[in-house]
Chain A
Amino acid sequence: MTDLAIDLRGIDKVYGSMFSRRVHALRGIDMRVGRGEIFGLLGPNGAGKSTLVKILMTVIKPTRATGTVLGRGVGHKPTLGRVGYLPEHHRFPDYLTGRQVVEFYGAMGGVDRRDRKKRGAELLDFVGMSKWADTRVRGYSKGMRQRVGIAQTLVNNPDLVIWDEPTDGVDPVGRRDIREMTVELKRRGTTVMLNSHLLSELEMVCDRVAILVQGRVSSQGSVAELTVDRQRYEIEVLAEDSNVDTAIRGALAKWLTPGSLTGTLATGESLHVQLDGAHAPALLKVNSAEASVVQPLIDALRFARLTVRAVKPIRPSLEDLFMEAVTDPTTGRALAPGAKEGH
């Protein structure tokens, strides 16, 4: 058995036909999700996240797809009996009660009557909906619907759950509960794929993430892996009796390019000095996650009788990664939302 719950290669989706406007929503998506991990799928609106998830769940037919879900080809219907899916903007029949919703979708997933009754009760308890289990869905708040929605994804005891915006419309308490449920599922060995805009939520629970931009995977990996090249040290420096500019240029002369506030350390890392005035603290940015790299700098600054006020290791957040991914490097502006039209 492969260690991958999802292994996608070259997923393409083109909407429209030769007679209508064509939109190239997905352009060769390659993505791997390991078994038992929590995987976050990020991307701006129109990046193709929901399209990708719907292709996995056979709601949308791909133009081209190679790969596997739980070891079987994408689109293999019987495999969906081992998957739980919560779509974005889901709509349950409002004449059903929460318990009936869980049991109905359990039956559709092939769960035995006895099992779905037993698991239904357990799951409604798990999502904190026992008290409202026999109330019709039409009387539920958005958060209650999300909780019942999560319960129905678990009724078939799935190996993989895919939640599309599970915290949409949910209050902070509910968000925390859903986060805890996600971690509990991982503890039980279930693979969880989350599709969300709430980057801070994802950052807290995801083992790995993929960022989709305009139908392509912009980056993929653990947050640590993705940020390793972007980690840096920041050193805050004060000059007690002299002009900070002159003092710093003098102290760091052997690393700075003459006439410039940037330079390169002996170990190859880049150095950038940011000045905010003659008596304001200066900020040194060193492009390295290693503490040893900044020691010669600190020594030089201290030797020049400058005051080192703070030395901070800086690790970019998921939001920083996301913003970098959705920013056009040439213009510095956010990329236009939506998929590209194409052939």
Chain B
Amino acid sequence: MVLKQTMAMLVDAYRELNAKKMFWITLVLSALVVIAIACVGINDKGITVLWWTFPVDVFNATIVSPAFFYKLIFINFGFKVWLTWAATILALVSTASLIPDFVAGGSIDLVLSKPIGRLRLFLTKYATGLLFVALQVSVFAAASFLVIGIRGGAWEPRIFLAIPLVVLFFSFLYCVCALIGLRTRSTIAALLLTLLFWLLVFIVHASEQSVLLFKLNAEDRVASIETKAGPLADSVAKQRAAIQKLSDVPADETPEARLERESQLVTAQASLSGLELRQQTSTSSLKEYQSSERFLGRLYAGIFALKTVLPKTSETMGILENSLTSLDEVAKLRKAEEERREERRAQRRGSDARPPNRTGDSERDSGEFSSAVAERQQEIIRSRSIWWILGTSLAFEAVVLAVACTIFARRDF
């Protein structure tokens, strides 16, 4: 009986999707995206589109392999842009009406009067809502697998990880959509409030990443200033000792020697003043950055706590990226980009006729974060376990579904 009812609901969901124009429009668009990606290639000079070549320093076959290039395109454009943004919005538009239509008067009576428990009925209906994305992403993943295999020369079965990951990603939003649709019985309300919720998740995610970067930068600067504080203090002490020594007047000092000593004393005192000024500035900066570090630490803790209870949409898709691209390949690409950036900086400095300064401090003083800080941020983000990312997100989904199930089980229709 259970299997019959579940199968009937799945078949019905398929028929419903099949009847929706949006399902086929999304599928056609997905096919176009895959075809567009297949038209792009890479050779020793740069990127190729059909028979045209566009020279690119960073992206060419001497730096990245065609397989890695295709993986990057599929991850960054196919999955991150198309599946997680455009196709997800289309999927939400298509599926937002499922629950409001399901609980509409005259419709819900028919299914509630069947020998099926309310909890199972709601959860099965919810699962059928995920069918839209599951079908779309399955077709897309299969097409991607073929394109990476044929064009990139790498048969990458891990591409099919996209199916569970994208379905999970969508389910984090769809559970909110289902709850709102059930509560309000309005498709428009369900769609708009879900999109707002998604925006909130995105803002929290972006804030967490930015605050983490600022926090790491503050920590880096504090460490840097503290590292330099010791030698500076030693220099000041040495200088003071030298001045003390120069201040001592020898008993048999000749006028020439006195003149020489006084000249050295003046120079030493000037040097000491400079050193003391640097020490003072350094202490002041240290206090400032320590204060900033404490504030950013607290802010980050708050944002991170909020992020922990919310679903991790970006990180969920990041799992796919992490599984498909190795750190070595990413590092190689990043190194090439870094070299290219250095060249550009050198060219800019040459044209500004300014003396070259390759120290990290000057780079940071100009408002940029050091590459070490950026790398540290990426390390922290990549070090988050799959269990934390998916576990906390699934916990959020479970709570939202529990609320929805309670409403559905108790409501009079």
Chain A interface residues (CB < 8 Å from chain B): 15, 54, 57-61, 77-81, 83, 85, 87-93, 95-96, 100, 104-105, 107-113, 152
Contacts and interface: CB of A to CB of B under 8 A. Distances in A.
Nearest to B106: A91
B112 interface: yes
Nearest to A82: B115
18 contacts: A57-B112, A80-B113, A81-B115, A83-B113, A85-B109, A87-B109, A87-B110, A93-B16, A95-B15, A95-B16, A104-B12, A105-B110, A107-B5, A108-B111, A108-B116, A109-B114, A109-B115, A112-B4
Given A57-B112, A59-B413, A77-B116, A108 B105 contact: no
A264 to B, nearest CB: 52
A85 B110 contact: yes
B8 A57 contact: no
Contact of A110 (B4, B107, B410): B4
Contacts of B32: none
Nearest to B18: A95
B127 to A, nearest CB: 16
B117 interface: yes
B395 interface: no
A268 B16 CA distance: 70
A58 B110 CA distance: 11
A29 B115 CA distance: 24
B97 to A, nearest CB: 12
B328 interface: no
A109 B5 CA distance: 8
Best-surrounded residue of B12, B107, B114 (most CB of chain A within 10 A):
B114
A58 B412 CA distance: 9
B19 interface: yes
Nearest to A77: B115
A90 B4 contact: no
A77 B117 contact: yes
Nearest to A86: B110
B1 interface: yes
B330 interface: no
Contacts of A113: 4
Nearest to B9: A108
List the 3 closest pairs (A to B, CB-CB), nearest first.
Answer: A107-B8, A95-B19, A91-B106
B193 interface: no
Interface string B1-36: 100110111011001101100000000000000000
B108 interface: yes
Most buried by A among B7, B19, B108, B412: B412
B104 interface: yes
A113 B15 CA distance: 17
Interface residues of B, number: 29
A50 B200 CA distance: 43
A107 B106 contact: no
A108 B114 contact: yes
Given A80-B114, A83-B113, 11 more contacts: A58-B112, A77-B117, A79-B115, A80-B115, A81-B114, A95-B19, A96-B12, A105-B110, A108-B114, A110-B4, A110-B5
A87 B412 contact: no
Contacts of A15: 412
Contact of B410 (A54, A57, A61, A100): A61
A301 to B, nearest CB: 59
A87 B106 contact: yes
Interface in B215-257: none
Contacts of B412: 15, 54, 59-61
Nearest to B111: A108
A110 B109 contact: no
Contact of B113 (A85, A110, A111): A85
Nearest to B411: A61
Interface in B78-127: 104-117
B13 to A, nearest CB: 10
Interface in B100-159: 104-117
B84 to A, nearest CB: 28
A90 B106 CA distance: 4
Nearest to B7: A107
Contacts of B19: 95
Contact of B108 (A59, A79, A111): A59
Contact of B109 (A57, A61, A78, A104): A57
Contact of A104 (B8, B115, B117): B8
Interface centre among A85, A108, A152, by most chain B C-beta atoms within 10 angstroms, is: A108
Contacts of A59: 108-109, 112-113, 412-413
Contacts of B8: 104, 107-108
Nearest to B109: A87
Contacts of B410: 61
A76 to B, nearest CB: 9
Contacts of B112: 57-59
Given A104-B12, A108-B5, A58 B113 contact: yes
A44 B114 CA distance: 28
Contacts of A60: 412-413
Nearest to B107: A91
Nearest to A112: B4
A1 B243 CA distance: 116
A53 to B, nearest CB: 9
